[in-house]
Amino acid sequence: MKFSIAKPEFQRGLARIQTIVEKRTTMPILSNVLLEAKTSRGASQLDLAATDLEVGIRSTHSCEVAKAGGVTVAAKKLFEIVRELPEEPIRVEVSNNAYLTLRCARAEFSLAGTTAEEYPTLPAIAPERTVTVQAAVLGDMIERTMYAASSDETRYNLNGVFFERLPDSGKLRMVATDGHRLARVDRTLGSQLEGLERGVIIPRKGLAELKRLVDEEEADEVELGFEGNSGLARRGGVTLVMRLIDGEFPNYRQVIPADTQHHLVLPAEPLQHALRRVALMSAERSRAIKFELAEGRLSLSSNNPDVGEAREELDVDYAGTPLAIAFNARYLLDAVGASGGKEVRISLRDALSPALLAPTDDDDALAVVMPMRL
């Protein structure tokens, strides 16, 4: 294999796969990147691919190929080398014993590699139908929900975000929960997406890679497709494939409170600052903050016997009965931060029922936070 490629193009492709390659794995080859130089009908291209057997990515890059072929080398080390090279074309050549040599200006590096045939194949998926969605809208949906997905490996069906199409409105919905909190958002993406009649669970890692893909500067639209237990996202010359979580997502509708009696609207930014300040004195393990709601004011307080206590009051438009309830400060901060609005509406029923948080300017987004015992 022998090819020449522009340094920025090579670096961008290698940077994209760094979060996918496994740093610690029982299969050392999963820490490698697959490079395949190809020529077809007079056109030359370099394909970069990486997978951890659950999520895979393949990208196509323009280059000048003198000799087609493939090799796999350590992804992290190759990226570190390319990043430090001068802004000149990089010449790459692979010997018969799978050693890769890079030359750029007066610098030269050699990397031990393995043959391309040893690299595991990426999950194969070819949905009958894909739809094109706006990257910004999809990115916003991910940002508003992914924080609530569980990281507890024993609850594998909660280790991702539930993605479904609502039959009545045609909107697409994303829901995530870890049992202590829940986030939900509905959006119109403009197309009917096949394979979502019963919903799919997209794993956290796959969703994080999808977020990076839609956040890239030139990303305007992304193709999405689902088939069986696999999902696909494609933008330009980049294809992301992922294995979906095979499990039953819980009935999230039954935990969303519908009969709240106490309502208050607060500006999001001052509320976040107050929560952060009061949380400084909360117990390290519970991060508990006490809400005391009375006429015209909301009092936030925390108490750590080993450190001290904190209290702060906020003015609110409230004239109902007094109420005291406690929450995990981090859960509240995540929910308020992901709301994306200037104001957040907090709806409560009693000290033992979950709180409902929603931006005042968006009827299609909400979060639920379970209370703590006082």
Q: Within 13 Å and on the Cβ side, how many CA atoms surround 151?
A: 4
Architecture of domain 2-118: Roll (3.10)
In tens, the pLDDT along 125-142 reads 777 777 888 899 999 999
Alpha-carbon dihedral 119, 201, 344, 346, rounded to 10 degrees: -140
- Rounded Cα distance, 234 and 209, in Å: 12
Given this model, what pLDDT does residue 188 score? Answer: 86
Q: Write out the chain's pLDDT in tens, 374 residues.
A: 999 999 999 999 999 999 999 777 778 899 999 999 999 877 899 999 999 988 999 999 999 999 999 999 999 999 999 999 999 999 999 998 999 999 999 999 999 999 999 999 876 777 777 788 889 999 999 999 999 999 998 899 999 999 988 887 778 999 999 999 999 999 987 666 666 778 899 999 999 999 999 998 877 889 888 888 899 999 989 999 999 999 999 999 999 998 899 999 999 999 999 999 999 999 988 899 999 999 999 999 999 988 999 999 999 999 889 999 999 999 999 999 999 889 999 999 999 999 999 999 999 999 999 999 86
Could you tell me the CA-to-CA distances from 162 to 71, 190, 201, 242 in Å, in that order?
Answer: 37, 19, 4, 14
Given this model, what pLDDT does residue 194 score? Answer: 64
- Rounded Cα distance, 74 and 35, in Å: 11
Given this model, what pLDDT does residue 191 score? Answer: 61
- Rounded Cα distance, 163 and 199, in Å: 5
Of the candidates 76, 104, 92, 89, the one whose C-alpha atom is nearest the C-alpha of residue 15 is: 76
Given this model, what pLDDT does residue 354 score? Answer: 96
Q: What does pTM read for this prediction? A: 0.89
Architecture of domain 256-369: Roll (3.10)
CB proximity list for 253: less than 8 A, separation 6 or greater: none
| CATH 3.40.630.10 describes domain 131-252 | no
Of the candidates 102, 120, 103, 121, the one whose C-alpha atom is nearest the C-alpha of residue 112 is: 102
**Tokens 């039954």, residue located:** 254
What are the sequence ranges of the domains in the chain?
A: 2-118, 131-252, 256-369
Of the candidates 269, 262, 153, 174, the one whose C-alpha atom is nearest the C-alpha of residue 224 is: 174
Q: Same CATH topology for 131-252 and 256-369?
A: yes
Backbone φ and ψ for 191, nearest 5 degrees, come out as -140, 155
